[in-house]
Structure 1
Amino acid sequence: MGSRVDDEQFRLFVRQQWGPLTRTAYLLTGDRGTAEDLVQSALEKTHRHWGRILRKDAPEVYVRRAMVNTAISWRRRRRPLEVPLLASDSEPVPDAYARVEQRQQLVLALRQLPRRTQAILVLRYFEDLSEADTASILGCSVGSVKSQASRGLARLRAQLNPTVPSSPVRLQGEPA
């Protein structure tokens, strides 16, 4: 069992990190309830080893690694029951909801990628972690992060802009 000081440090960590961890989990799972379950599962695993983690690792890295591994494990065990909706035939009209719709399309496209690539893109671009930090969390090389991120971004661009030629691929609003 952990000491009272360790338990208090863990409670403080959870209070400070709940929002960012839930956001990351949502991007990994695509569902708010599943995201909260994922964060709780990762925090449970973290709490079991809290004293060792504080002495050896950065807790944020450990929790994110646990979240990614757990999300991949869940994905292997469960097949999604949802049926993706067809995209609308009409061009989106710029309005107050256009940004939310674009974000939802991005999350849906992100969920189509392999879990490892999805995790790399979430950690690199949504969590704004460096390539080295992402590699450390996932236990792979920086080169692997770079190549998978590049391929993942190309696939996202192709899914989000299917009428744009595949080479060179640019995101909307990206300078030529």
Structure 2
Amino acid sequence: MTGYASFEEFVVARRDALLRTGYLLTGNHHDAEDLVQSALVKVVPKWSRIKDRPEAYVRQVLARESVSRWRAHRWREVTTDTVPEAMHHDSTDRIALLEDLRTLSPRQRAVLVLRYFDDLTEADTAAALGISVGTVKSHARDALARLRDQRSGEEHPAAST
């Protein structure tokens, strides 16, 4: 396969998985679509180098782009106590999980999404985020503890990382 035909095949084959990861990173379908599109735009110029194993590289771009976008736009983000009526999900557990994920720092959220939803190893997660394996472990530990505490009703100060 020559040129960008393999890129198009990759996008068609992995679109749903990429959007799921984007959704878990952003918490919003529209932002997830924007995030995936931005990541794919950044990947296209490098496609000839990564086309044999693009998945890890694309995930890395998604995670880093998500953190960068959050940093650039965090002052505009508005949180609410209720889910807008326009959002209809089959499961209240999904809504609760998403709300809990939003309380984590972008990096903690990225670690959990890559480790547990995308099933990456600690080393692959560290490589995708450009951090050490130890940092992946500590972010995962702290994030999971925070989520457990939220489920049990304990209050914690906002995540700092």
- TM-score by structure 1 length? 0.78
Counterpart check, 1:139 vs 2:130: yes
1:83 match? 79
Give, in angstroms, the shift of residue 49 of structure 1.
1.0
After TM superposition, what 4+ stretches of structure 1 lie above 4 angstroms from structure 2? none
**Aligned amino acid, residue 46 of structure 1:** V
Amino acid paired to 2:80: P
For CA contacts below 8 A with separation 6 or more, give which structure has more relative contact order.
Answer: 2
Moved more, 15-24 or 67-76: 67-76
Instruction: Return 5+ residue gaps in structure 2 as ranges.
Output: 155-161
**Any unmatched runs of 5+ in structure 1?**
88-96, 164-176
- The answer to whether residue 100 in structure 2 is matched with residue 109 in structure 1 is yes
C-alpha change, 1:159 and 1:50, in structure 2 (3 Å) is: same
Could you tell me the percent identity over the aligned residues? 45
Length-normalised TM-score, structure 2? 0.84
For 1:63 and 1:21, locate their aligned partners in 2 and report how far apart those are by CA, in whole Å.
Answer: 9
Instruction: Name the Cα RMSD after superposition.
Output: 2.2
* Structure-1 residue corresponding to 2:69: 74
Larger radius of gyration: 1
Question: In structure 2, how many angstroms separate the alpha carbons of the residues matched to 1:10 and 1:19?
Answer: 15
**Who is 2:21 aligned against?**
24
Q: Equivalent residues in 2 for 1:151-162 (5 A)?
A: 151-162=142-153
Contact in 2 for aligned 1:105/1:160 (Cα 8 Å): no
